[in-house]
Amino acid sequence: MTAPLLVFDLDGTLAETAPDLVSTLNQVLAGIGVAPVNYDAARAMVGGGARLMIERALAHAGVLLPKPEIDAMFEDFLVHYDAHIADASTLFPGVIAALDQFEAAGWRFAVCTNKIDKSSVLLLKALGVADRFAAICGKNTFPVSKPDAGALLMTIDKARGHRDRTIMVGDSKTDIETAQNAKVPVVAVDFGYSDQPVATYKPNRVISHFDALWDAVDDIAKAVWSR
């Protein structure tokens, strides 16, 4: 039988990355003469990838730029961010213990994120967990990205998993919709980068700490996989 698979989002789910993302965002905004966005407002812009974060920040500042200029900001963002990938980013409490517990029970892991794949791998290496994942798939890994179901389904394939033996873990509407579109159960964490309470989007379970992930996944597996 195919080993069960947990597919994680990255920013706001496995790792608190907002400090480095916000710092980089304000660096590229300063480069075009736009005032920095305060941390709380900028943190709420995280979650859809760097380009969307830039677009949200420009809209917040009331600045309209042509696509080529946004493209240039995006490239500057990636260069700066990759050079400061984990200056202040950390895994959320309980991540390592949860991975250990699931791995001991025969589970395998993958990442499906809208972060650029190079940055995703760099971050997970810097945090010391890249080798825990059978596949690390970013926004440019496949022709589609979340919330398209294909991003999750192709991640599952790359990790040599099976949709009927997979559960997703994410922090946002995008993650929940991705899982729902792929017909995969989803656990939502409520400490990530969602502008609305994640329960609004009807995930299978909501948790507030990784200590609760085992019980949430066990409940889903019993309810869904035993049908």
* Strands 15-16 and 90-91, sheet pairing: antiparallel
| SS3 of residue 100 by DSSP | helix
Residues 6+ apart with CB under 8 A from 6: 102, 107, 108, 109, 110, 166, 167, 168, 169, 217
**175 among known catalytic residues:** no
Cis ω for the linkage preceding 147 (within 30 of 0): yes
Cα 116 to its chain centre, rounded Å, is 11
- Contact criterion met (CB below 8 Å) for 3 and 164: no
Task: Report, as residue numbers or ranges, the catalytic residues.
Answer: 9
